[in-house]
């Protein structure tokens, strides 16, 4: 089995290998799609209106972890994809692939959790599907949620709106989701207070757009591949350097400890309840103040700025010690099956 001929776990990591698989295999094979297909939420004209449409499959193991479970994750993750596309989440589909032998009580728990997350987010699960496949070791399940949302008035976000000097805002500490799943998987008790940040962030994006309209230039939830993948993507797609300050990034001591113990870089670890927003510099303080009124943004801060356009755009981090470090796209998979 070679890396070039067969799928590797690392192809699912949300980093360089995932991007190459999508760009070099998946999109060309499907054919006739534009380059953004199969990556982000898509906007479809609908009569006089528009539909924002997105999908994600969730394969997290274990199915339950501190702060969440696959049901809550599947709802919040797709709600968040709509939210960062400047849409109001309206309806979700939910498609279950269950493995033979799965405990029905466990199924009930994760679905109840997903249903509760949907009610809190104000979306309705309107259609679904259930399949069963043969078991594979400990019986598991995967959930696909697709979602449709309505573009928010005043929302106009996208890479092309990002300019030099724009502020980059982050809403809280990094890595809580990935580390909570990993600690549960490895049976680590080092970080008993560590909980996934799994939550819906649509109220954050709606509040920013309502107050600031087109002064909000771009938004993303830094999931697989973490903040590093999000910012490298931002730099490449805008053709601009990105500078962030390590000291500015909010920290969570249990997460920092767990990352050290597991040898992981918090920048690369998946989050499921954080927002990265790029806003006009002059609106940045106001944006932080707006976010600070919401529980879903525990520590909103400006972590850096967009730089000038360049042929070789880079993400640089000014380290706590005052040095500079280049932040790279994670290559493969530090943490398989994290979302």
Cα separation, 46 vs 286, whole angstroms: 34
| Candidate segments 23-31, 157-165, 182-190, 312-320, binder of its own copies by CB under 8 A | 23-31
Nearer to its own copies, 85 or 262 (CB): 85
Cα separation, 227 vs 267, whole angstroms: 5
Nearer to its own copies, 57 or 286 (CB): 57
Applying CB under 8 A, among 25, 164, 190, 309 the residue interacting with its own copies is 25
- Give the residues across from 92 on adjacent strands: 125, 147
Task: By CB under 8 A, tell whether 35 contacts its own copies.
Answer: no
**DSSP letter (8 states) at residue 26:** I
- Closest approach of its own copies to the CB of residue 22, in Å: 6
- Determine contact, residues 37/30, Cβ cutoff 8 Å: yes
Task: By CB under 8 A, tell whether 44 contacts its own copies.
Answer: yes
CB under 8 Å to 281, separation ≥6 — which residues?
Answer: 165, 166, 167, 305
Taking alpha carbons only, the member of 172, 223, 193, 230 closest to residue 59 is 223
Applying CB under 8 A, among 32, 187, 263, 323 the residue interacting with its own copies is 32
Taking alpha carbons only, the member of 260, 272, 252 closest to residue 67 is 272
Task: Tell me how many residues contact its own copies (CB under 8 A).
Answer: 86
Applying CB under 8 A, among 95, 251, 256, 286 the residue interacting with its own copies is 95
Task: By CB under 8 A, tell whether 293 contacts its own copies.
Answer: no
- Closest approach of its own copies to the CB of residue 165, in Å: 31
| Candidate segments 53-61, 166-174, 192-200, 208-216, binder of its own copies by CB under 8 A | 53-61
Applying CB under 8 A, among 68, 79, 88, 144 the residue interacting with its own copies is 144
Residue whose structure tokens are 């640089």? 316
Task: By CB under 8 A, tell whether 146 contacts its own copies.
Answer: yes
- Closest approach of its own copies to the CB of residue 315, in Å: 23
Task: By CB under 8 A, tell whether 96 contacts its own copies.
Answer: yes
- Determine contact, residues 281/165, Cβ cutoff 8 Å: yes
Query: Which phi and psi (to 5°) does residue 77 adopt?
Result: -60, -45
Task: By CB under 8 A, tell whether 31 contacts its own copies.
Answer: yes
Applying CB under 8 A, among 16, 40, 261, 314 the residue interacting with its own copies is 40
CA angle 16, 200, 285 (to 5 degrees): 85
Nearer to its own copies, 11 or 177 (CB): 11
Cα separation, 230 vs 328, whole angstroms: 10
Residue whose structure tokens are 């920092």? 256
Nearer to its own copies, 109 or 156 (CB): 109
CB under 8 Å to 278, separation ≥6 — which residues?
Answer: 162, 166, 167, 168, 169, 216, 217, 218, 219, 234, 306
Applying CB under 8 A, among 20, 23, 46, 325 the residue interacting with its own copies is 46
Applying CB under 8 A, among 15, 114, 173, 300 the residue interacting with its own copies is 114
Task: By CB under 8 A, tell whether 324 contacts its own copies.
Answer: no
CA angle 250, 59, 329 (to 5 degrees): 45
- Closest approach of its own copies to the CB of residue 21, in Å: 6
Task: By CB under 8 A, tell whether 282 contacts its own copies.
Answer: no
Query: Which phi and psi (to 5°) does residue 16 adopt?
Result: -60, -45
Task: By CB under 8 A, tell whether 57 contacts its own copies.
Answer: yes
């Amino acid at each position: 089995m070679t890396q070039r001929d067969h799928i590797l776990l690392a192809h699912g990591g949300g980093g360089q290998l995932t991007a190459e698989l999508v760009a070099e295999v998946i999109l060309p094979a499907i054919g006739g799609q534009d380059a953004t297909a199969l990556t982000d939420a898509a906007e479809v004209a609908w009569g006089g209106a528009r539909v924002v449409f997105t999908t994600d499959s969730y394969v997290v193991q274990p199915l339950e972890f501190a702060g969440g479970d696959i049901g809550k994750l599947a709802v919040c993750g797709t709600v968040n994809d709509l939210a960062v596309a400047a849409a109001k989440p309206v309806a979700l589909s939910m498609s279950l692939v269950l493995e033979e032998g799965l405990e029905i009580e466990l199924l009930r728990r994760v679905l109840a959790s997903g249903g509760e997350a949907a009610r809190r987010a104000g979306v309705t699960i309107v259609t679904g599907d259930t399949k069963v496949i043969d078991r594979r070791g400990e019986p598991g399940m995967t959930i696909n949620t697709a979602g449709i949302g309505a573009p928010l008035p005043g929302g106009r976000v996208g890479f092309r709106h990002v300019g030099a000097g724009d502020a980059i805002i982050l809403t809280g500490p990094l890595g809580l989701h990935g580390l909570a799943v990993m600690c549960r998987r490895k049976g680590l008790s080092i970080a008993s207070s560590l909980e996934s940040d799994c939550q819906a962030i649509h109220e954050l994006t709606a509040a920013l757009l309502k107050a600031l309209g087109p002064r909000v230039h771009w938004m993303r939830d830094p999931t697989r591949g973490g903040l590093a993948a999000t910012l490298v993507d931002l730099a490449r797609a805008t053709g601009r350097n990105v500078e962030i300050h390590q000291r500015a990034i909010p920290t969570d001591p249990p997460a920092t400890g767990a990352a050290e113990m597991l040898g992981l870089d918090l920048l690369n670890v998946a989050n499921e309840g954080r927002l990265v927003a790029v806003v006009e510099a002059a609106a940045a303080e106001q944006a932080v103040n707006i976010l600070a009124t919401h529980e879903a943004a525990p520590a909103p801060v400006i972590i850096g700025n967009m730089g000038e356009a360049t042929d070789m755009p880079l993400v640089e981090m000014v380290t706590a010690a005052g040095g500079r470090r280049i932040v790279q796209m994670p290559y493969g998979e530090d943490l398989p099956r994290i979302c």
